[in-house]
């Protein structure tokens, strides 16, 4: 059995509707191909696709990855995506923990970074190298050996991160573990926006949170997220509103106000522009 076929079989055997597994930080997914977009908030993670593919939109940037390829996300980001191809998509994801990344960054000799390209965006795609794919298969395979998982899973997690750090996406991943990286500074502001998305936002105050001048912050924020801070806040607001409307489809004005919109008409207009339908209609469709 080839390595991708082995990974597909393991994912199909253990995938759950909520994607969670018995190994902390390991997620498995199974999704039918669809051109209907989904909207989600990511976290730092690596995704390896075993079957099918997915196309993600971050701001104006498009990222596509298919079977045998991996996606790295290094910050909390609002993305739009849909699965592509004729086959059901099967994939695994591993949450990237900054503390583990930082420890491995410090242990790597400088020469190990020579083959990696500079990373600016918080997302990147690449082919999954054989060593990385082998480690991923062994991690997912631990779901069949629950007595071994508590001991071996943390070791294989470190191996996967090491393979990423020393592979073509190394510079992108390395930024997660560097306290003085531009990603670390921008991530402070991203965290503030996610925690305070309904509050008025001033670029000067966000720049202070990030420890940068306003002009420098704006440049680095767009480089990381492919959006301006205001566009980022709007996307967070609307995605939070969509989640609220599933449980309260008739309270459109109230939901809009709770996520930071003083004008119901502006809320409806921007919601329709992002999701393709007005709030009430979209909420009823999601509930159905």
What is the residue-level pLDDT of the chain in tens, covering all 288 positions? Answer: 599 999 999 999 999 999 999 999 999 999 876 666 788 888 899 999 999 999 998 887 889 999 999 999 999 988 888 888 777 899 999 999 998 999 898 887 665 554 444 446 789 999 999 999 999 999 999 999 999 999 999 999 999 999 999 899 988 898 888 877 888 899 999 999 999 999 999 999 999 999 999 999 999 999 889 899 999 999 999 999 998 988 877 889 999 999 999 999 999 999 999 988 999 898 888 777
Two structure tokens written together for 189: 């502001």
Integer angstrom CA distances of residue 279 from 38, 41, 233, 287? 15, 19, 18, 12
Which residue ranges form the domains of the chain, and what is each CATH number? 3-177 (2.60.120.10), 179-288 (1.10.10.60)
Task: Please give the Cα distance from 72 to 151 (Å, whole number).
Answer: 25
> Distance of alpha carbon 186 from its chain centroid, rounded?
15
Task: Please give the Cα distance from 106 to 98 (Å, whole number).
Answer: 12
Q: What is the pLDDT of residue 37?
A: 75
Q: What is the DSSP string of 187-248?
A: HHHHHHHHHSTTS---HHHHHHHHTS-HHHHHHHHHHHHSS-HHHHHHHHHHHHHHHHHHH-
Task: Please give the Cα distance from 162 to 96 (Å, whole number).
Answer: 11
Q: What is the pLDDT of residues 104-162, one digit of tens each?
A: 988 876 655 544 444 467 899 999 999 999 999 999 999 999 999 999 999 999 999 99
Q: What is the pLDDT of residue 4?
A: 94
Q: What is the pLDDT of residue 182?
A: 85
Q: What is the pLDDT of residues 190-205, one digit of tens each?
A: 999 999 999 999 999 9
Q: What is the pLDDT of residue 114?
A: 45
- Inter-residue contact 214 to 204 (CB < 8 Å): yes
Task: Please give the Cα distance from 132 to 12 (Å, whole number).
Answer: 20
Largest CA distance in the chain: 59
């Amino acid at each position: 059995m080839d390595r991708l076929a082995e990974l597909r079989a393991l994912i199909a055997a253990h995938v759950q509707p909520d994607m969670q597994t018995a190994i902390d930080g390991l997620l498995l997914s199974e999704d039918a191909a669809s051109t209907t977009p989904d909207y989600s908030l990511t976290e730092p993670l690596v995704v390896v696709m075993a079957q099918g593919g997915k196309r993600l939109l971050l701001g104006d940037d498009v990222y596509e990855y298919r079977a045998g390829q991996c996606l790295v996300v290094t910050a909390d980001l609002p993305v739009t995506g849909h699965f592509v191809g004729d086959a059901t998509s099967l994939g695994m994801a591993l949450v990237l923990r900054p503390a583990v990344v930082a420890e491995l960054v410090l242990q790597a000799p400088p020469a190990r970074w020579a083959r990696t390209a500079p990373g600016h965006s918080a997302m990147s795609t690449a082919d999954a190298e054989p060593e990385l794919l082998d480690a991923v298969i062994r991690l997912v395979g631990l779901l069949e050996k629950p007595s071994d998982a508590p001991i071996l899973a943390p070791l294989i997690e470190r191996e996967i991160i090491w393979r990423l750090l020393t592979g073509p996406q190394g510079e992108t991943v390395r930024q997660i573990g560097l306290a003085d990286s531009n990603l670390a500074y921008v991530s402070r502001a991203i965290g503030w926006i996610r925690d305070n998305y309904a509050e008025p936002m001033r670029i000067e105050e966000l720049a202070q949170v990030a420890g940068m001048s306003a002009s420098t912050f704006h440049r680095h924020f767009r480089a990381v997220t492919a959006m301006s801070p205001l566009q980022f806040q709007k996307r967070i607001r609307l995605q939070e509103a969509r989640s609220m409307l599933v449980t309260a489809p008739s309270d459109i004005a109230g939901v809009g106000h709770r996520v930071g919109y003083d004008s119901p008409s502006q809320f409806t207009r921007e919601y329709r522009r992002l999701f393709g339908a007005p709030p009430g209609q979209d909420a009823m469709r999601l509930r159905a």
